[in-house]
Structures are given as C-alpha cells and as structure tokens.
Amino acid sequence: MDLLRTKPIDTNLTKDTGLKRVLGPVHLTLMGIGAIIGTGIFVLTGIGAANYAGPALVLSFLLAGTVCTCAALAYAELAASIGGSGSAYAYGYAGLGEFPAWIIGWMLILEYTIAISAVSLGWSGYVNNALQAMDWGLPSRLLHSPFDADTPGLINLPASLIILALGGLLLSGAKMSALFNAVVVCIKVSVVLLFIAVAAFHVDPNNWVPFIPEPALNVRGEAAFGWHGIAAGAAIVFFAYIGFDAVSTAAEETAKPQRDLPIGILASLGICTVLYIMVSGLLTGIMNYTLLNTPSPISDALLHVGVNWAAGVIALGAIAGLTTVMLVLYYALTRILFAISRDGLLPRFFAHISPHTKSPVRAIILMGVIMALISGLIPLGDLAELTNIGTLGAFAVVCAGVLVLRRARPELPRPFKVPGGPVLPVLGILGCLYLMINLQHTTWLAFLIWNGIGLLIYFGYSYRGSLLNGGSVAESSGSN
C-alpha cells in the first residue's frame, strides 16, 4: 500500500481546467480582505482582551500575524509553482504524498464548514439587532436551535437563509461573486477606518495600564494574562486571520496565477494585520479591557464614549463584514471539495462543472444544504475553535511542503520564493505547533475524532478510488 504516492506537478498553470479564468490581483486581494476582516475584528478583539491578554492583545495579534506571515509566504511560493483549486490539499499531494494530502484536505473541509456555520450565527445575531432597532425583531424560536441549552427554539432561520442565499450567488459564477465581494469589502473597510478615526480622539491612556496584566484565572477558570495570556490570546484571535489561504483556491479561476496569487495572498494579509493591530490598540484604549467580553465590543466601546451614531454604523458594517467572510470561505470550501473529488478521493459526482456558469454546482449545493442544517439546528459553541486547529494544521503542512519540494524538485519553476532559505518555513511550522498546543483539550479531542472519521473514509473508499490507484477518469461534463 503506497500511502505517499505523489501527484504529478503540471507547471502550466494557465491551462483550461473547465473553470473560467476571470480574476485578477485586485479581485484576489479583495477576496482575501473579504475573508479575513469579519468575526475577528468585530467580535474576537473583545473576547481576546477581556479573557486572555488585556491591552497586550496587540501583541497577540502581532504574534498570530507573524505566524500567518510565514505561512502566507509558503502559500505564495506553492500557489505560484503548483496552483490548483485544492490549496494546501493540492500542495500536500504534490510534495508529501496522498495520505498526508487527504488528512489536510479533510481538515480543510472541517475548517471551512465550521467557520462558515459559526460566522452565520454571528450574522444572525447582528441582523436581528438591526431589525429590533426598527421594531421588526424576529421571535426567539426562529433565532435558536432546538438543541440550545439556554433558549431552545425551532431553528436559527436567518443563519440558514444567509448560507442558502450565498450558495445561490456562488452558483451564478466566480465573476459575479467577486464583484459582490468587492462592493461589500469597500463598505466594511470604510467602517473599520471610521472606528479608527473616531476612537483616536477618545483614548484614555490609563486604560492601557497595566499593559500586560498579572497572570490570573479568567472568567472561564483558565490560566490567562501575563505572557502566557498573550500566547493563549494569539491562539484564539488566530481565527481572525483565517481567510487569506482561501485566495489560493482561486488558482484555476485566475488569469495570471503565477503573478497574481502571491500578490493577493500577501497584500490582503498585510493590510488586515495593520488594521487589526490598530483596532485592538484603540479598543483597549477607549474602554477598560475587563468590560469588553461582549458579542459586539466595537459598538459597545463607541457607545461607552457616547458616539452613538458611529456605533450604529459599525453594526451595519459588521453585517457586511460577516457576509463577505462567509462568501469567500464558502467559495474556498467548494473548490477544495471539487479538487478532492476530481482526484477520486471523494465521489467524482461532486467534481461536475456547470457548462453555463463554469462553477462546481454540485459541491456548492451539497455544502450549502449541510451548512444550512448545521447553522440552523446545531448550537456550535466551542466547536468554532476546531476551525483554528484545522487551519493551523493546514498551515504547518504548507510550510513543510515548501521544504520537501525544494529538496525533491529543485528544478521546479518558482516565480515567487520564500526569502531566507529554510528559516521562515521552519518558523512557520514551529509557530503553528506552538499555537495548537495553546488550544483547549476538548478542541484536541474533537479534532482527533474528526480525523478518525477521515481515516475510515480514506481506507474504506479514497485509497481505492484515487486516480493514482487506477480509478476512472472524472466525468467529462466539464470536470477533469
């Protein structure tokens, strides 16, 4: 049994794969920003400051951003030399072998599915708040799942409906989705800049003292604050950076992938890192960190300093921000499922491409229905942390893939190359593992259960169905 068989690398990244090449560097940069700026800046800034790092949350964002930078550079190198819709899955298949690629692909499916479902719940809450402001609030039974321990209901209807609506948008094709994303990204970046401009005039330096609070237990009974709190905060706010890797899944829909993918990945991460550090610093400057453990810390902070009109605008920006996060992550999820199915590791039925929109319609519909059911009927709670551990695992594999391919395929064209030799990829691996260690034990348990299911699928179906094992060629109706 050859578990490490590798997929041949096709250096022609502009060949026709059935998907339509309509995206450029601006589209890709806005796609990355659309996926990154959302829950992290509008929700996790408060949770990270109140429960883990205090004003030193800026250092948590800096630490998480540094780890992401190492991973982003690795993504840029592999995206420019290997390409493909499968992102880290495809890079692992080419460099590490089929079994590691399956594991990473399985983790990516978990990452995106849980992330989108979790974000949809936050979106539902913000939308209902906006409706309540107009005296149109929804009844509680349509805002909670039947399994919600505190306030059981029938279904979280807004969460399910937004996922189905975004699925409909994706079915229209990548170009239309990119245009919608670009418009909404401009709105939410403007809202973030508005917060920065307003908050800068209401900072009380006393709120930054002590900058690194003394180690103590937080409200959850966890060890927090001090230097350990900065690391734990980085592991939590890492969720805020998830999304730049989604840019790499657009390789087969990018006109000049070898040039444009590195631009989109690195530009979106750089812009968002600067915005995160500025927002977290100002947030803890206008309101004491102990008061920030709320679902909407940005709006609450502005209300605290009496700028009510800006708080209302921020709430609308949060709705826009969460919408594009779900859209881009949904896009990435379907492209990864498409790539895995095209390789035969999952049924090739899902690798079908619509001859009209050039999109993987079956993958879009399948995942839309699954996520609509999850977000509507299942309270996610701490399961959202599974997104972090899955992403960190994927980033570590991408960094390792750079090292392996440089040794195994030194002749491979590399239009973009991570600077500093092996140093940054190694730092990326170590940084990801360090942040994974700082996640909760329950997260690790759920992560191991998920991968146990993945092992059963691989050895029960994927190994035999793989094209590298002689599986039949993918159906001819557009997929290849």
Three-state DSSP class for 166?
helix
Q: Does the residue 339 lie in any domain?
A: yes
15-19, 159-163, 349-353: range with highest mean pLDDT: 159-163
Q: Does the residue 480 lie in any domain?
A: no
Q: Give 206-260 as a DSSP string.
A: GGGSSSSPPPEE-TTS-EESHHHHHHHHHHHHGGGGTTGGGGGGGGGGBSSHHHH
What token pair was written down for 20? 């339509």
| Residue 224 backbone dihedrals phi, psi, to 5 degrees | -145, 175
Mind listing the pLDDT tens digit for each residue in 2-49? 888 988 877 666 677 777 788 889 989 998 898 888 767 777 788 889
Domain count, the chain: 1
According to DSSP, residue 24 is labeled: -
Q: Please, what is the average pLDDT of the chain?
A: 85
Q: Does the residue 247 lie in any domain?
A: yes
Q: Does the residue 9 lie in any domain?
A: no
| Residue 223 backbone dihedrals phi, psi, to 5 degrees | -65, 130
Three-state DSSP class for 23?
strand
What percent of the chain shows pLDDT beyond 90? 30
Q: List for the chain the helix, strand, coil content (%; round to 5).
A: 70, 0, 25
Full residue range of the structural domain in which residue 119 is found: 25-467
Look at the alpha carbons of 396, 68, 319, 306 in this order and tell me if their dihedral is positive or negative.
positive
Q: Does the residue 6 lie in any domain?
A: no
All residues at 6 or more sequence positions from 132 whose CB lies less than 8 Å from its CB, including other chains: none
How far, CA to CA in Å, does 175 sit from each of 18, 27, 184, 358?
15, 9, 15, 10
**Cα separation of 225 and 290, whole Å?**
12
The DSSP H or E segment spanning 127 is helix 98-133
Mind listing the pLDDT tens digit for each residue in 245-293? 788 888 888 888 888 888 998 999 999 999 999 999 999 999 999 888 8
Q: Does the residue 17 lie in any domain?
A: no
pLDDT band at 384 (very low <50, low <70, confident <90, very high): low
pLDDT of residue 477: 38
Q: Does the residue 38 lie in any domain?
A: yes
Q: Does the residue 473 lie in any domain?
A: no
**CB 435 within 8 Å of CB 234:** yes
Secondary structure in 3-state letters for 452-469: HHHHHHHHHHHHHHCHHH
Mind listing the pLDDT tens digit for each residue in 142-152? 988 888 777 88
β-partners of residue 23 are: 254
pLDDT band at 480 (very low <50, low <70, confident <90, very high): very low
Mind listing the pLDDT tens digit for each residue in 300-343? 888 888 888 887 788 788 888 889 889 989 998 999 999 999 99
How far, CA to CA in Å, does 261 sit from each of 80, 282, 455, 466?
7, 32, 32, 28
What is this structure's pTM? 0.82
Please name the residue that has the structure tokens 């989109």.
264
What token pair was written down for 428? 């990326």
Tell me which residue of 397, 355, 454, 437 sits closest to 20, measured CA to CA. 355
CATH of residue 152: 1.20.1740.10
Tell me which residue of 75, 79, 70, 67 sits closest to 424, measured CA to CA. 70
First to last CA, the chain: 25
